């Protein structure tokens, strides 16, 4: 008896299954590359191992310590070896990459913090004055570490997982593929930083220098996402006996732009002051020494890092904080 199903209809289920299998294999290959071969992810896994080892050593030697969390401005600015050598202050540099965004960066630093410690949140203004997204770099790093709880800061009541979005993020993306191919063809390093750029304390340094003539514009007000994150972090600190304070990172500013940037920074700090204490740095985040920056307006060289580390030590040891009246005067709101 002839079949009632035509040959053309019979072919489609098999072809669809073949295409689905090919798509799954392609995703698996992309995910394997991201988790184990991607040069950027490998670099940050290496840096995280070093930072955690330094933190564990401090926990064994000291009853309390200071953990400084944030993006790459922290990574390049906080010389924890100098802070101990010059100031006898046990400090963990928990700075990573601003592309991971505040929930991941905060959750990573929280994991290094113990009861009785001080948590210094030193997020770059750009990160806390714009809405949070779900960055691929956070998902890729969290999954590569086997710690998906970091991705959305579930310890601070963020979503435990967004498995579909996070797993899709394991694809490297066309920009990454073409950039990597270009570096291979030109025989250039596969990532701009190398393992040797991470010092034993987790402090980053690089020999690369780039021109950056522009000033980072003054920040607007604190975003709603940042307000929620800061509130949750402050509550977490109270529950876990951790003092939580904010510190404004330094950035290069052209001399003529300094007054406007300081006023803008002071306005943003007034927002933060309603949520947590703010360390009193007289520079208000403006550090216009061109020679003390490396490859961006936020990445300090060794002399710049020494200057900011010394300033941070003084503020912590003197327990120096901004008052609302002082910031209102500097912001021009009084």
pTM, to two decimals: 0.92
Q: Is 24 left (phi over 0), alpha (psi -120 to 50) or beta?
A: alpha
Q: Is residue 172 helix, strand or coil?
A: coil
Please give the pLDDT value at position 1: 45
Give the pLDDT of residue 215: 80
Beta-strand (E) ranges in 45-201?
Answer: 66-69, 91-93, 118-121
Give residue limits of the domains in the chain.
7-37, 39-331
Contact 270, 331 (CB under 8 A): yes
211: Cβ contacts below 8 Å, ≥ 6 apart: none
Could you read off the pLDDT of 143-152 as tens digits, one per residue?
Answer: 999 999 999 9
How many Å apart are CA 188 and CA 52, to the nearest integer? 30
Q: What is the largest CA-CA distance in the chain?
A: 94
User: Poorest-confidence range of 13-27, 296-310, 317-331?
Assistant: 13-27
* 3-state DSSP percent of the chain in helix, strand and coil, to 5: 55, 5, 35
225-280 tens-digit pLDDT: 999 999 999 999 999 999 999 999 999 998 889 999 999 999 999 999 999 999 99
Q: Is 101 left (phi over 0), alpha (psi -120 to 50) or beta?
A: left
pLDDT tens profile 266-304: 999 999 999 999 999 999 999 999 999 999 999 999 999
Mean pLDDT, the chain, integer: 91
Give tens-digit pLDDT for 96-114.
999 999 999 999 999 999 9
Q: Has residue 15 got a pLDDT over 80?
A: no
Banded pLDDT at 88 (limits 50, 70, 90): very high
């Amino acid at each position: 008896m002839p079949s009632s199903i035509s040959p053309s209809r019979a072919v489609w289920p098999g072809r669809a299954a073949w295409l689905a299998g090919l798509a799954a294999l392609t995703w698996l290959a992309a995910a394997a590359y991201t988790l184990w071969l991607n040069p950027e992810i490998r670099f940050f896994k290496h840096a995280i191992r070093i930072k955690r080892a330094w933190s564990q050593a401090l926990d064994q030697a000291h009853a309390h310590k200071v953990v400084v969390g944030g993006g790459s401005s922290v990574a390049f600015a906080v010389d924890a070896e100098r802070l101990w050598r010059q100031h006898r202050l046990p400090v963990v540099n928990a700075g990573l990459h601003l592309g991971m965004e505040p929930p991941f960066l905060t959750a990573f630093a929280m994991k290094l913090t113990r009861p009785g410690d001080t948590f210094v949140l030193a997020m770059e203004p750009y990160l806390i004055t714009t809405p949070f997204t779900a960055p691929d770099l956070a998902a890729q790093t969290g999954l590569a570490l086997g710690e998906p709880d970091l991705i959305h800061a579930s310890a601070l009541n963020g979503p435990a997982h967004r498995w579909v979005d996070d797993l899709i993020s394991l694809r490297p993306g066309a920009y990454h593929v073409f950039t990597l191919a270009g570096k291979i063809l030109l025989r250039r390093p596969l990532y701009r930083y190398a393992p040797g750029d991470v010092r034993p304390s987790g402090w980053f340094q690089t020999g690369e220098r780039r021109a950056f003539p522009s000033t980072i514009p003054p920040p607007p007000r604190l975003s709603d996402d940042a307000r929620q994150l800061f509130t949750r972090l402050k509550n977490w600190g109270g529950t876990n006996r951790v003092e939580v304070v904010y510190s404004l990172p330094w950035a290069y500013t052209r001399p003529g732009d300094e007054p406007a940037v300081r006023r803008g920074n002071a306005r943003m700090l007034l927002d933060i002051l309603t949520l947590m204490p703010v360390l009193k740095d007289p520079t208000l985040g403006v550090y216009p020494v061109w020679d003390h920056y490396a490859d961006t307006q936020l990445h300090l060289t060794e002399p710049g890092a020494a200057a900011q580390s010394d300033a941070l030590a003084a503020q912590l040891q003197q327990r120096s904080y901004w008052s609302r009246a002082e910031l209102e005067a500097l912001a021009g709101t009084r």
